[in-house]
Chain A
Amino acid sequence: MTTPAPAATTARQAIITITGVNKWYNEFHVLKDINLEVGRGEKLVICGPSGSGKSTLIRCINRLEVHQQGRIVVDGIELTNDVKRIDQVRRETGMLFQNFNLFPHLTVLENLTLSPVWIRKMPLKEAQELAFHYLERVKIPDLAHKFPGQCSGGQQQRVAIARCLCMNPKIMLFDEPTSALDPEMIKEVLDVMIDLASSGMTMLCVTHEMGFARTVADRVVFMDSGEIVEENDPQTFFNHPKFDRTAAFLSQILNH
């Protein structure tokens, strides 16, 4: 049974709803009253200076970090200490890390098939077909039998993307996926992300790649010292920032 959507305040149906979230590391207030709604299929870019809580925020969405106040609802599932719910939310989300975090003792192919086989109970043959499908999509099918240590950074990050896709997530979380890469490799990873965006995936992306934000993002969120300072569509965000803090950050990051 589907209930008719309520008169939409946002254009899309929300898949992630964050309301009044606060988080502390001991005495340090790292997230301050965060309110954010992400629509299904939306591409959200989160930027802000280092230490502003961007990573912490997106890591709260798949419960790698625990928030202490407020509510986070992902695709209708509210995150609590209930292991079952955490598990359900992690089924819906995939996450990319700055330093890839591939499993170094397994080949690229094994990295891709391990989770489908053991977590989704997929037969190995099927998992391998799926893995090759996504390796094609990230344009490195010939690396299947290499170990991560034998691949370049850009290739490793693309393997990591394929590894997430093999679990068929609805939402992808990116935590500075290109920050550890040489300039020549950034493009190959961004290309894959752009391709992914065009397929309708919901994406939350912490990045300083402003070109990517301009072309792909539906909305840009700027954070500083644990707060969301402002959010807007990329055009307005880059051309007419509301706050001087945002303008200062943008001028730093765009003309260095």
Chain B
Amino acid sequence: MPQTWQPKPPTPSPSYSTGWLGWARKNLFSSPGNALLTLLSLAVLLATLPSMLRWGLWDATWLGDSRKVCDSAAQDGSAGACWVFIKVRLEVFLYGFYPEAQRWRVNFTLALLGLAALPILAPTLLRGTLRQTLFALAAALLMLATFGMPCAIFTACYLLLPLALPPLVRQRPFLELFAGRLAGVSAGLFLTALAATLLYFAAGQAGGGGAAGPIAVTGAILVVFLIFVGRLTASAWRWILLFTVYPLAGFFLLVGEVFGLPLVETHFWGGLFLTLVVAGTGMATALPIGILLALGRRSTLPVIKTLCVFFIEFVRGVPLVSVLFMASVMFPLFLPENVTFDKLLRALVGIAFFYAAYMAEVIRGGLQAIPKGQFEAAMALGWPYWKMMALIIMPQTLRLVIPGLANNVLSLLKDTTLVAVIGLLDLLGVAKASMADTEWLGFTKEAYIFAALVFWVFCFAISRYSVYLEKTYHTSQHYN
């Protein structure tokens, strides 16, 4: 008769750290070498930090609205920074030379981007239809208070559309519409509702002509997706709107000449606003192109593969500055005389393709890390190539390469400063231009530090966001 066996009960793991003293001993003074490094770092901090803080904060001039304040402070013996310079110039730093009366358009476009992207960027924050609806209504109210009725209506339509589409749209609504099924009715209802909203928006803006164009384009895009894709989830619709309706709306809002908005040509654009436009469109276009290039480079079709390899290797072989020069100086030479493209547009295209090549290589690295079995399992289940890539392989690949892509996005954001070489004034360009202002000579440090700080804030946010993404998707757990 064998004995009964009892497993031992688990005991808590021994803990070595007690309080901050224990923490310091473990992390700062764990060995003589580490202790020495800690003390050295401390010495460096003590030597530099106080004078930096004194210059930047305590001795700095914050109040006032002209150069005199800083000059008199300097005569009184204070050697601090003159932040008045930044304060006076802030609007130019943010908007460049965008007409003052029209700057609300920039604010609204960026606010709409934030509101449109939030449910996508932080999926865990806004879970469930109820919360998302409330979010849309709150956002609309906020817009009503800040920008007025038409903006509020547009915001509400934009944010509620992805929630309204899934229950209204059945499988392939248009095919069924002609087959006279019930789903067709809901598709018809939906289209009527869509047309009505758009018309209402147009009527609300009225006044100026030319509203039909953008509305028709928006409607056409939605209809194309409805016909070819059919039923989709709310989050899929959000992505679609973000990449179709939002850029259109943003373009028309910023450029104007529709909805009664006056035209603002792109050479008035500048400052942080221009930096964000270039970086935002750069990221949004470079990633999809990069994905296609990466897939192309792995293609079994020799023509496609060669083209992709050639393109990637060519772009990686030249500096971005020369790509921008080519886009702005050489490219127009090859065009017929009466055809011109906007200079900003050319720079955007150049940056997009430049970074697409780099992202393609990052993504290709991720693709190579996906086990062959994933492709085989998908193919054995009957997945055709593009669907398999879009829904099974790419989601895994992109999760794997989050750190690499974050790297690319960060350097893209900072490389937008290079548009200065073709005469576009981004944040850094505006800062430099302000230094040359005869009224404010001698405040280069302040301008550079301000620009650096703004860039740092954005870059740090992106970098933290990439960490958040990695955590949400538990990337590290997938292949063990």
Q: B-contacting residues of A (Cβ < 8 Å)?
A: 62, 64, 83, 87, 90-91, 93-95, 97, 99, 101-105, 114-115, 118-119, 121, 123, 147, 149, 160, 163-164, 167
- When the two chains form their complex, are residues A105 and B396 in contact, meaning their CB atoms are under 8 A apart? yes
A94 to B376, CA, bound (A): 11
Complex contacts, A114 vs chain B, CB 8 Å: 391-392
A37 to B126, CA, bound (A): 56
Which one of B101-109, B311-319, B378-386 contacts A? B378-386
- When the two chains form their complex, are residues A101 and B382 in contact, meaning their CB atoms are under 8 A apart? no
Complex contacts, B392 vs chain A, CB 8 Å: 103, 114
CB distance from B55 to the nearest CB of A (A): 50
A97 to B377, CA, bound (A): 8
A143 to B373, CA, bound (A): 22
Complex contacts, A115 vs chain B, CB 8 Å: 381-383
**Interface residue count on the B side (C-beta < 8 Å):** 25
Complex contacts, B200 vs chain A, CB 8 Å: none
B171 within 8 A of A: yes
- When the two chains form their complex, are residues A90 and B373 in contact, meaning their CB atoms are under 8 A apart? no
B305 within 8 A of A: no
B6 within 8 A of A: no
- When the two chains form their complex, are residues A64 and B391 in contact, meaning their CB atoms are under 8 A apart? no
Where chain B touches its partner, the secondary structure class is helix
A91 to B384, CA, bound (A): 12
Cβ contact of B374, chosen from A90, A101, A149, A164, cutoff 8 A: A101
> Which residues between 127 and 164 of chain B lie within 8 Å of chain A, taking CB atoms?
none
Given contacts A103-B392, A123-B171, A164-B381, 17 further A-B contacts (CB under 8 A): A64-B376, A87-B384, A91-B382, A93-B380, A101-B373, A103-B374, A103-B378, A103-B396, A105-B396, A114-B391, A115-B381, A118-B391, A147-B477, A149-B477, A149-B480, A163-B381, A167-B382
- When the two chains form their complex, are residues A90 and B480 in contact, meaning their CB atoms are under 8 A apart? no
Cβ contact of A104, chosen from B376, B378, B479, cutoff 8 A: B479
Q: 0/1 per residue, B369-405, Cβ < 8 Å to A?
A: 0010110111111111001000110011001000000
A160 to B381, CA, bound (A): 11
Complex contacts, B8 vs chain A, CB 8 Å: none
B478 within 8 A of A: yes
Q: A-contacting residues of B (Cβ < 8 Å)?
A: 171, 371, 373-374, 376-384, 387, 391-392, 395-396, 399, 473-474, 477-480
- When the two chains form their complex, are residues B380 and A95 in contact, meaning their CB atoms are under 8 A apart? yes
A118 to B383, CA, bound (A): 9
- When the two chains form their complex, are residues A118 and B387 in contact, meaning their CB atoms are under 8 A apart? yes
A180 to B374, CA, bound (A): 17
User: Can you list 16 A-B pairs, Cβ within 8 angstroms, ordered by A?
Assistant: A90-B381, A90-B382, A97-B373, A97-B377, A101-B373, A102-B377, A103-B392, A103-B396, A104-B479, A114-B391, A115-B382, A118-B391, A149-B477, A149-B478, A149-B480, A160-B377
- When the two chains form their complex, are residues B379 and A119 in contact, meaning their CB atoms are under 8 A apart? no
A119 to B391, CA, bound (A): 11
Complex contacts, A167 vs chain B, CB 8 Å: 381-382
CB distance from A124 to the nearest CB of B (A): 9
Complex contacts, A101 vs chain B, CB 8 Å: 371, 373-374, 376-377
Cβ contact of A90, chosen from B379, B473, B474, B479, cutoff 8 A: B379
Complex contacts, A90 vs chain B, CB 8 Å: 379-382
- When the two chains form their complex, are residues B478 and A104 in contact, meaning their CB atoms are under 8 A apart? yes
A209 to B357, CA, bound (A): 50
- When the two chains form their complex, are residues B381 and A119 in contact, meaning their CB atoms are under 8 A apart? yes
CB distance from A77 to the nearest CB of B (A): 13
Complex contacts, B477 vs chain A, CB 8 Å: 104, 147, 149
Q: A103, A149, A163: which has the most chain B beta carbons within 10 Å?
A: A103
- When the two chains form their complex, are residues A87 and B382 in contact, meaning their CB atoms are under 8 A apart? yes
CB distance from B350 to the nearest CB of A (A): 34
Complex contacts, B377 vs chain A, CB 8 Å: 95, 97, 101-103, 160
Residue of A nearest to B400 (CB): A105
Q: A101, A119, A167: which has the most chain B beta carbons within 10 Å?
A: A101
- When the two chains form their complex, are residues A121 and B171 in contact, meaning their CB atoms are under 8 A apart? yes
Given A99-B373, A118-B391, the answer on whether A105 and B478 have CB atoms closer than 8 Å is: yes
A-B pairs with lowest CB-CB distance, top 5? A101-B377, A104-B478, A101-B373, A95-B380, A90-B382
Residue of A nearest to B393 (CB): A103
Residue of B nearest to A121 (CB): B171
A118 to B378, CA, bound (A): 12
Complex contacts, A94 vs chain B, CB 8 Å: 380-381
Given A90-B382, A91-B382, A121-B171, the answer on whether A105 and B376 have CB atoms closer than 8 Å is: no
A90 to B379, CA, bound (A): 8
A218 to B321, CA, bound (A): 71
A90 to B371, CA, bound (A): 21
Residue of A nearest to B395 (CB): A105
- When the two chains form their complex, are residues B474 and A147 in contact, meaning their CB atoms are under 8 A apart? yes
CB distance from A89 to the nearest CB of B (A): 9
A125 to B477, CA, bound (A): 29
CB distance from B227 to the nearest CB of A (A): 15
A87 to B474, CA, bound (A): 33
Complex contacts, B395 vs chain A, CB 8 Å: 105
CB distance from B344 to the nearest CB of A (A): 38
Cβ contact of B380, chosen from A62, A104, A118, cutoff 8 A: A62
Complex contacts, B396 vs chain A, CB 8 Å: 103-105
Residue of A nearest to B479 (CB): A104
CB distance from B175 to the nearest CB of A (A): 11
